[in-house]
Amino acid sequence: MSKTSEIAVSAPVSPGRAKFLRFLVRDAGVLLALVLITLFFSVTAPYFATSGNALKIFVQIAINTVLAAGMTFVILTGGIDLSVGSVLALCTVVGATVMINESLSPAVAITLALLACMATGAACGFLNGWISTRWKIPSFIVTLGMLNMAAGAARVVSDNSTITGLPQSFVDFGNLIIGGFLPSIFLVAVLVIAAGWFVLRFTVFGRMIFAVGTNDEAVRLSGHNPDFYKVAAFTISGLTAGIAAMVYLLRLNIGSPIAGIGYELNAIAAVIIGGTSLSGGKGSIIGTLVGACILQVLSTGLQLLGVGDNFKPIVIGLVIVLAVILDAYRERLLRRIR
């Protein structure tokens, strides 16, 4: 290699160009993948590129998007929450039980149900975080225990039966299509994502969530308690599970003790595909939204192509593994850009 080429290779990247390259590698790559997958199915899958199918995708993506928003906070701190699916099930039966109370007016019943779902989910999340940090137990183990406890509690509360008969005004809102193309339940998901983005992007709390995932000892030395932020992240994850339970009720109009089976894996997958690192400290909640979109577009497109339910998990699993591998290469590339 000539001396000139050596200088060219070792020349530092300008700040403006480095910022642009980091955007391409960290954020735009996932969005580009979504665009390419959408274009592929639009060409190959019948009825994929229709307004009816787009509406269907928006409806189906809502629950996982809300769950994944809270999961992003946990994974950013270096934790994992396996309990959100069962917590969602518990919250659906709690919320449905409140809403069918005939002594309450529909408006009051719906309001109390929302508060009950959020409180139940937040309490479960708080317990996950507090036990994990108090006794230094890996969050994987603690949330696995909560998964079973919440599933059992859902069966107890519902007497192991499905709860129906929700207020008609609630059902009507769940079926509402805003502007002819935007389902009301997807709007709820967008609002949750927007709130999470604002917190992570513009608040001290959000910056500390990233810092804890990067180096919690440095956070401690700076005068902050990293355990507080870890507990808060799990509480947020539980809170969003409660909100996702209300979205579930809006979509299916039933409270079910077996709701949410496998939902935790879909939420984790959306976060990982969206570019959040499992080691913590790096990620984006907007990327999580894109990751959830990729999962649903893949699922819907494969279904329209006639791929059976037995093969769809294989394809989606391969995509998740590929996302983890790409994450490792992305971090190496980002270090070189810096």
CATH assignment at residue 174: 1.10.3470
| Structural domain includes residue 24 | no
Residue 181's pLDDT band (boundaries 50, 70, 90)? Answer: confident
| Structural domain includes residue 143 | yes
pLDDT higher than threshold 60 for residue 162: yes
pLDDT higher than threshold 90 for residue 245: yes
pLDDT of residue 322: 84
| Structural domain includes residue 263 | yes
Buried-state track 71-102, b at ≥16 Cβ within 10 A, e below 16: bbbbbbbbbbbbbbbbbbbbbbbbbbebbbee
Q: Which residues does residue 177 pair with via DSSP β-bridges, in sequence order?
A: 183
Burial of 25: CB neighbours in 10 Å, binned 0-12, 13-18, 19+: middle
Contacts of 330 by beta carbon, 8 Å cutoff, 6+ apart = 25, 26, 29, 275
Domain extent, residue 58, equals: 29-40+47-337
| Structural domain includes residue 84 | yes
| Structural domain includes residue 250 | yes
pLDDT of residue 337: 66
Supply angle C-alpha 75, 328, 225, rounded to 5: 30
CA-wise closest residue to 287 among 230, 232, 327:
327
pLDDT of residue 215: 94
Output DSSP code: residue 260: T
Quick one: what percent of the chain has pLDDT higher than 90? 78
| Structural domain includes residue 118 | yes
DSSP string of 71-86? HHHHHHTT-----HHH
Alpha-carbon 6 to chain mean position: 45
Residue 336's pLDDT band (boundaries 50, 70, 90)? Answer: confident
| Structural domain includes residue 243 | yes
| Distance of alpha carbon 146 from alpha carbon 160, whole angstroms | 18
Q: Poorest-confidence range of 147-151, 187-191, 312-316?
A: 312-316
| Structural domain includes residue 116 | yes
pLDDT higher than threshold 70 for residue 7: no
pLDDT of residue 316: 81
What 3-state class would DSSP assign to 310?
coil
Q: Poorest-confidence range of 143-152, 230-239, 265-274?
A: 265-274
pLDDT of residue 3: 45
Mean pLDDT of 81-108: 97
pLDDT higher than threshold 70 for residue 274: yes
Chain mean pLDDT for the chain = 91
Q: Provide the number of structural domains found in the chain.
A: 1
Mean pLDDT of 290-308: 93
